[in-house]
């Protein structure tokens, strides 16, 4: 498959252009030639030296990541920026990035993957950001307690042995759940307005403790990396359906 066709297919599937004005990430093809052929694609959460080296070692032609290397652009490619990017260019490895489009996709997205783990039904978009959404909400078939909700996530997510933390300020029976992966506590008020029992996200900010307590809502912090492995793994399956060889590079941070 041609690199341009691969990137175009992903852009269309993920509606990359629709997030252009609301995402600091330069989504789409960030590193790559105008022309190129793909047979083998690697997938990882983070576009960093370790995953670049992993893609090169796997003899991949491209690497697809959730967190890329360009956040609002940069003026110079020197120092650490040069050291990070140079191996991709020297080894002809393209880099494709999907940040918020991959958070918000209702089938392939990170929040959708967490919802699958929790067995949620009656799902709908959640986490409004401009005209788009970056999360998902739904209803559990059987109610969770805060402890059982944390245990379920801890057993199924790639937490790097990190404990899933729960702030138990809401109902004891949890059935209505909102999800914004990564750093999603800024959507606490939307979760309160939506009358869900819990907001599941990756990492929290200091203020969320008091905001959740005052609002009477449960918050679950399951890890930034751990909640954001699902999107790239779903794209890996999609690439396999397109006839490409794939490799997943797991580099958990424990954060």
103 known ligand binder: yes
Backbone angles phi, psi at 170, to 5 degrees: -115, -160
94-97 and 28-31 as β-strands: parallel, antiparallel, unpaired? antiparallel
Q: Given a cut of 80, is residue 245 above it in pLDDT?
A: yes
| Residue reference for tokens 């959507």 | 187
Would you say 153 and 179 are in contact if contact means Cβ atoms under 8 Å apart? no
Mean pLDDT of 128-149: 98
Q: What is the mean pLDDT of residues 155-182?
A: 95
Residue 187 burial (C-beta neighbours within 10 Å; 0-12, 13-18, 19+):
buried
pLDDT at 192 over 90: yes
pLDDT over 80 (residue 143): yes
- For position 250, what pLDDT does the model report? 96
* d(C-alpha 60, C-alpha 43), whole Å: 10
Count the neighbouring beta carbons within 10 Å of the beta carbon of residue 26.
17
Q: What is the mean pLDDT of residues 13-28?
A: 97
**Domains plus CATH for the chain?**
3-99+229-247 (3.40.1390.30), 103-227 (3.40.1390.30)
Is 224 annotated to bind a ligand? Reply is yes
Residue-level pLDDT at 70? 92
* Residue 23, H or E segment: none
pTM attached to this predicted model: 0.95
pLDDT at position 162, please? 86
Mean pLDDT of 82-99: 94
| Among 118, 181, 110, 188, CA closest to 151 | 118
Q: Which pLDDT score, from 0 to 100, does residue 76 have?
A: 83
C-alpha triplet 207, 220, 71: angle, nearest 5°: 65
pLDDT over 90 at 34, yes or no: no
The whole-number pLDDT of residue 51 equals 98
Q: Is 67 annotated as a binding residue?
A: yes
Average pLDDT over the chain reads 96
Q: How far is CA 227 from CA 69, 183, 189, 206, in A?
A: 20, 10, 20, 19
- Identify the pLDDT of residue 56: 98
Work out the end-to-end distance of the chain between its first and last CA atoms, rounded to an integer number of angstroms: 36
Q: List all residues 6 or more positions away from 82 whose beta carbon is below 8 Å from its beta carbon.
A: none
Cβ pair 99, 66 in contact under 8 A: yes
**Beta bridge mates, 132:** 129
Contact yes or no for 150/167 (Cβ under 8 A): no
Residue 57 has pLDDT above 90, yes or no: yes
Whole-number pLDDT of residue 235: 98
């Amino acid at each position: 498959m041609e690199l341009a066709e691969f990137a175009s297919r992903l852009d269309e599937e993920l509606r990359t252009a629709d997030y252009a004005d609301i995402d600091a990430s330069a989504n789409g093809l960030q590193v790559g030639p105008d022309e190129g052929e793909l047979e083998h694609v690697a997938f990882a959460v983070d576009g960093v030296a370790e995953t670049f080296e992993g893609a090169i070692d796997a003899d991949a032609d491209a690497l697809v990541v959730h967190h890329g290397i360009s956040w609002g652009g940069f003026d110079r490619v020197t120092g650490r920026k040069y050291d990070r990017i140079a191996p991709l260019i020297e080894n002809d490895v393209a880099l494709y990035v999907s940040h918020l489009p991959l958070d918000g996709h209702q089938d392939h997205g990170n929040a959708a993957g967490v919802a699958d783990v929790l067995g949620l039904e009656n799902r709908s978009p959640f986490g409004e950001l401009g005209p788009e959404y970056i999360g998902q909400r739904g209803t559990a078939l059987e109610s969770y307690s805060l402890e059982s909700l944390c245990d379920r996530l801890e057993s199924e997510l790639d937490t790097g042995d990190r404990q899933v933390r729960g702030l138990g300020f809401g109902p004891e029976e949890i059935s209505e759940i909102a999800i914004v992966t990564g750093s999603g506590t800024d959507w606490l008020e939307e979760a309160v307005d939506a009358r869900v029992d819990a907001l599941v996200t990756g990492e929290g900010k200091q203020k969320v403790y008091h905001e959740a307590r005052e609002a009477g809502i449960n918050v679950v912090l399951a890890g930034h990396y751990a909640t954001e492995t699902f999107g790239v793994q779903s794209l890996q399956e999609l690439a396999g359906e397109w006839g490409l060889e794939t490799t997943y590079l797991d580099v958990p941070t424990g954060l």
